[in-house]
Structure 1
Amino acid sequence: MPKDMVKEDTSGPRTRAPRLRKPTAQDGAAIWELIRACKPLDENSMYCNLIQADHFRDTCVVAEVDGDILGWISGHMIPNDDAFFVWQVAVSPKARGLGLGKAMLFDLINRAETDGARALKTTITKDNDASWGLFRSFARSIGGDLSDAPHFTRDAHFDGQHDTEHMVTITLPQEHDALKRAA
């Protein structure tokens, strides 16, 4: 985990580094609240986040400090593909700028459940500068190639109601230890 995960708060005691862990079903409501606080992320139902935290816990991660969930990444291995898909990244406004998003990505890629992944994939709209920055930084950190192409388009998939989502693909080093060293 990056050393900058401890941030000085002059209004109170020093903030501890977040603990990264697999979510539990009991985290569903807190994850839903975190996502709601991270505009403009798409909000799913609380039930969706509960199912993710329960059924997909092995490929999702939460970051918490003193019981407060400050970060969340949902993901899954793509069926019949050797790729890990990142669905959503949320970092609390009070934990931004600490490298938490990248730390959570490393945590997920270093899990046994993602060992077969040869690529990390996600979709991002062209105007989402924060996500582009996170995934470009992650690709640089691991020495992976990043490519993108329109995937879910505004008119064909979203009935004109949502911007085109570009499929971002980052090649992952095939030696698992290379990722551990990059973290």
Structure 2
Amino acid sequence: MSAPLVRPARKSELTALLALETRCFEQDRISRRSFQRFIEHPQDLLLVAEIAGQLQGYILVLFRRNTRLARIYSVAVAPDTRGLGLGRALMLAAEDGARDKGAVFMRLEVRADNTAAQNLYQSLGYRQFGVFHDYYEDHQSALRYQKRVHHYHPLTGTKAVPYYRQTTEFTCGPASLMMAVSALDPDYRPEIDEELQLWREATTIFMTRGHGGCGPHGLALAARRRGFEVELMLNQQGPLFVSSVRTPDKKLILERVHEQFLAQMAGLGMRPQYGSFSLEQLEQGLALGRLPLVLISTYHLDGRKAPHWVLVCAMDKEFVYIHDPDIDDDAGESPVDKQYLPIERSRFDRLARYGQNGLRTLVWVYKA
């Protein structure tokens, strides 16, 4: 049998699409009017698969305005042609189409009792991240799957950056620094003892809750002590994160730690640069082979308003690509999901601020 041809649906195929819908689904069917609207709607994508000139499958992808999310709304393959790879061909073509429209993530729902479809999606790299209970007309639940379809393709001469996952809730800063060091020193091997040592050197002792994270001054000092050139830029003077703790004793500790960091930096001939960095400055530094640790607020990611360090690895006209050392196992995340994670430039510009005062800081790490 000839290979399937996947292409955009035509308005002349409405009757064939309806017939296929009837053969494949007993409930939740798409109407003729809806099929026509999807074909004519430029924002959405309706592809069909044909074999020997006969329409044997379709896939419908919807795009949400002002987001980088695409959603597979429906997939259908004629019963007598299943097992011939049409479903996989349709999925891959849909991912290509989603990328062409600027999508970063593809999502879908699948019946909890449809194990064949689940196996296909998992084999293509989709991961379950949620459940919709009582979702279908017969009250069956829907499993929610997601896959990142946009990936960074490094340009010639771009520095490859190894990935390292933080092993505690409070060592995002050390993990980000270790990734930068790994890229700059091919002989460096990151491991947990070094991660904890870096935290001890760079911690502010207290922060929003639990163990204190790392401040920019401490991370800059840790990098310099390991023989790297460092530039610290921030838009605020004085001790940081003081407003995130409540008791006077904790505020005093933060102030004393800050003064210690400044004294240690002065002893090494280091001086912070005060001001806000721009995306253009990030691009210029990356072009020089430097790597920036950037403090972001997780509010726009998970709503928690927590300070979090990431490593910026690359940029292009649309995205800032980061290595995020934090992996949520409960959400089914893996290291692949957090490497070269694309964030729209305008969105990253908003993320790279923390707290009510809009702290904006980065630590450049590079070799002389």
Fold equivalence (TM over 0.5): yes
Structure 1's unaligned 5+ residue stretches are 1-14, 140-144, 178-183
The AA in structure 2 aligned to 1:36 is T
SS of match in other structure, 1:132: helix
> In the alignment, is the contact (CA less than 8 A) between 1:22 and 1:61 conserved in 2?
yes
The structure with the largest alpha-carbon Rg is: 2
Matches within 5 A, 1:115-154: 115-139=101-125, 146-151=127-132, 153-154=133-134
Deviations for 1:131-183, whole angstroms, at most 9, x for unmatched residues? 212211111xxxxx6132123x32xx66x852222321122241479xxxxxx
> In the alignment, is the contact (CA less than 8 A) between 2:44 and 2:61 conserved in 1?
no
Deviation, structure 1 residue 70: 0.3
Between 1:103-112 and 1:54-63, the stretch displaced more is 54-63
The AA in structure 2 aligned to 1:97 is G
- Measure the CA separation in 1 of the matches of 2:102 and 2:113: 31
Change (3 A) 1:67 1:176: farther
- Measure the CA separation in 2 of the matches of 1:104 and 1:54: 20
Deviation, structure 1 residue 20: 0.9
Q: Name the structure 1 match of 2:178.
A: none
SS of match in other structure, 2:66: coil
- Measure the CA separation in 2 of the matches of 1:95 and 1:43: 20
Q: Name the structure 1 match of 2:240.
A: none
2:51 is the alignment partner of 1:70: no
Deviations for 1:22-43, whole angstroms, at most 9, x for unmatched residues? 0111112211111111145631
Q: Name the structure 1 match of 2:237.
A: none
2:81 is the alignment partner of 1:104: no
2:141 equivalent among 135, 142, 164 = 164
Deviation, structure 1 residue 71: 0.9
Deviation, structure 1 residue 112: 6.8
- Measure the CA separation in 2 of the matches of 1:92 and 1:33: 10
SS of match in other structure, 1:60: strand
Once superposed, what is the RMSD of the aligned Cα atoms?
Answer: 2.6
Change (3 A) 1:120 1:113: closer
Q: Name the structure 1 match of 2:20.
A: 34
The AA in structure 2 aligned to 1:146 is R
> In the alignment, is the contact (CA less than 8 A) between 1:23 and 1:54 conserved in 2?
no
Change (3 A) 1:124 1:135: same
SS of match in other structure, 1:111: helix
SS of match in other structure, 1:43: coil
The AA in structure 2 aligned to 1:43 is R
Residues paired across the two proteins, number: 154
Change (3 A) 1:96 1:121: same
SS of match in other structure, 1:87: strand
> In the alignment, is the contact (CA less than 8 A) between 1:23 and 1:57 conserved in 2?
no
Deviations for 1:64-91, whole angstroms, at most 9, x for unmatched residues? 1233210100112222321211011101
SS of match in other structure, 1:17: coil
- Measure the CA separation in 2 of the matches of 1:87 and 1:41: 14
SS of match in other structure, 2:131: strand
- Measure the CA separation in 2 of the matches of 1:23 and 1:57: 14
Deviations for 1:67-121, whole angstroms, at most 9, x for unmatched residues? 3210100112222321211011101112111111111111122237644222110
- Measure the CA separation in 2 of the matches of 1:161 and 1:112: 30
Between 1:88-97 and 1:54-63, the stretch displaced more is 54-63
Deviations for 1:42-77, whole angstroms, at most 9, x for unmatched residues? 312222122222325862210112332101001122
Task: State the TM-score, normalizing by the size of structure 2.
Answer: 0.38
Structure 2's unaligned 5+ residue stretches are 155-368
> In the alignment, is the contact (CA less than 8 A) between 1:115 and 1:176 conserved in 2?
no
The AA in structure 2 aligned to 1:167 is R
> In the alignment, is the contact (CA less than 8 A) between 1:22 and 1:58 conserved in 2?
no
> In the alignment, is the contact (CA less than 8 A) between 2:43 and 2:62 conserved in 1?
no
SS of match in other structure, 1:61: strand
